Amino acid sequence: MTNAKPVVIPLNKPLLRGARRPRVALVGQARTGKSTIFEAAASVAVRQERLAGEPSTYEECVVALGLEQISLVDLPAIGSLHRLSEADRVVLMYLLWGDRWPSIARHEPRQPEASFAPPEVLVLVADAAALERDLELALELSMLGRPMVIALNRMDEAREKGLYLDVRSLSEKLGVPVVPTVAHMGKGIAELFAAALEAARSKACPLPQPPSQHIAARLHGLNALVARPDVEEAFRVPRSLLVTQLAENDDWFLGELGAHFPALREEAIALRAQAGQGLPRALSDELHADRNHRAATLFESVTRSAAGEQKEGWRALLDALFLHPRWGLAGSLAVFALVLFMVFEVSALLDALTSARLAAWVQGWQPSSTLGVVVRAVADGLIGLVGIVVPYMLPLVVLLVALEHSGIMHRVAFVVDRGFHRIGLHGAVAVPFLIGLGCNVPAISAAAAAARGRERVIAALLITFVPCSARSA
């Protein structure tokens, strides 16, 4: 007889499975790897439904984690909560309410088609190689007051770029678990789901991310205005999020406030105007700039690049320039001027040195045989191709990649955001417009990847008016 003690495996009680199974939604910007994570876990029983008012769908499947389960939901991309686009609003409505819409949304023409509860846990899928813009979304989503986990995806690309990310520090600063992943290789996925399950059990919410003090103090009036039980019941939106939306000129939330509480609408507009008095730019832009700045500061505090301290100083300088109310615009115009210079001056010089010389060289050859004519036609075609790619596309692409890697493009997108909103676009589509100077075709496909719905159509149409150097070459 042996005296071996029985092995005790602790069981979490109650087990999260069946009806207790938490819903975990994969949220994030476009192309960060949400669907790749979903597909890594998806079983054959994937349920696909349409989001209310959206042609795009969400997918849901059950993932078993030992004896427990989660319901995993793959959502369309959400760009930003700042000046909500229609597509982003539909995703936000799902995150806030599922199919149980509050009274303010009951009159919407397109109601939820399927029965789905809002997610208990958000998994923000962030691109570790372009983390700064995703951190801004993390600050925005923290206002939902819902347990959150960050999947730091594309860690392979971040490493290739020489970026070192302090995962623990990021987790502490946001108050959420952060799990590094390489989704297409399945790395970190099991840990991610375990963290999501734990977040559902502990119900621990992210740390509050209020605006900087000088702006927060100005929002007291709006805060008091919506701090009424009937408003809270009608909206069922966390107060900090509702106040931010009203302060950032969001037409939809303000419209709903006016429709359900007519007296409050005028008061909200007056309070907003009052809050914006004396600020160097509109309150909405000030709030956006403040969030951008907090995300940039957070990014810098959790990142070490292989290039070291010098690069951080450089980033701080960029922030000082691009987040400045006046100099930001001047800096962006300088970037546009640099791109134009590259496309029309440098490219013309390269053209003279490469394809023009090749063309002149071939010009001297006037074949008379059939084979010669065919070879000449092929040579002309190849020279035409070289003439577009080498002088026009290559320098532009190299310049845009350099602007993207240095973080300048992200800051330009922030500066032009306001102007782009006037024509129904987000600042993020600034990059496709710049690519359009080289060639409209890749620019339209970049716009299709960066935008959705109406925004995608407007961007694609406008890009065709960008003077394309490859076309005029």
Ligand X SMILES: Nc1nc2c(ncn2[C@@H]2O[C@H](COP(=O)(O)OP(=O)(O)OP(=O)(O)O)[C@@H](O)[C@H]2O)c(=O)[nH]1
d(C-alpha 236, C-alpha 126), whole Å: 27
> Considering the rule CB under 5 A, would residue 36 count as an interface residue with Mg ion?
no
> Considering the rule CB under 6 A, would residue 80 count as an interface residue with ligand X?
no
C-alpha dihedral (87, 103, 232, 270), degrees to nearest 10: 70
- Of 35-43, 317-325, 348-356, 411-419, the segment contacting Mg ion by CB under 5 A is 35-43
Pick from 87, 158, 183, 393 the residue near ligand X by CB under 6 A: 183
Residue with tokens 């290039």: 307
> Considering the rule CB under 6 A, would residue 426 count as an interface residue with ligand X?
no
Pairing between strand 68-74 and 23-27?
parallel
> Considering the rule CB under 6 A, would residue 78 count as an interface residue with ligand X?
no
Residue type, 138: A
- Of 29-37, 111-119, 157-165, 458-466, the segment contacting Mg ion by CB under 5 A is 29-37
d(C-alpha 251, C-alpha 268), whole Å: 12
Closer to ligand X at the Cβ: 81 or 257? Answer: 81
- Of 93-101, 162-170, 178-186, 385-393, the segment contacting ligand X by CB under 6 A is 178-186
Tokens representing 229 are 């039980």
Min dist CB 31 to Mg ion, Å, is 8
Min dist CB 132 to ligand X, Å, is 17
DSSP code for 51: P
Closer to ligand X at the Cβ: 37 or 343? Answer: 37
Pick from 29, 32, 35, 249 the residue near Mg ion by CB under 5 A: 35
d(C-alpha 469, C-alpha 434), whole Å: 11
Min dist CB 119 to Mg ion, Å, is 16
Closer to ligand X at the Cβ: 152 or 197? Answer: 152
Prior bond to 395 cis, omega within 30?
no
d(C-alpha 303, C-alpha 306), whole Å: 10
d(C-alpha 359, C-alpha 381), whole Å: 10
The CB-nearest residue to Mg ion is 35
Tokens representing 321 are 């320039």
d(C-alpha 8, C-alpha 19), whole Å: 27
Pick from 83, 154, 272, 410 the residue near ligand X by CB under 6 A: 154
Find which of ligand X, Mg ion, none residue 159 binds, CB within 5 to 8 Å per kind. Answer: none
Residues 6+ apart with CB under 8 A from 284: 83, 247, 248, 249
Tokens representing 368 are 């008379």
CB 460 within 8 A of CB 436: no
| Interface mask toward ligand X for 14-43; x: CB under 6 A | --------------x-xxxxxxx-------
Min dist CB 466 to ligand X, Å, is 24
Closer to ligand X at the Cβ: 32 or 240? Answer: 32
- Write out the residues near ligand X by the rule CB under 6 A: 28, 30-36, 77, 153-154, 156-157, 182-184
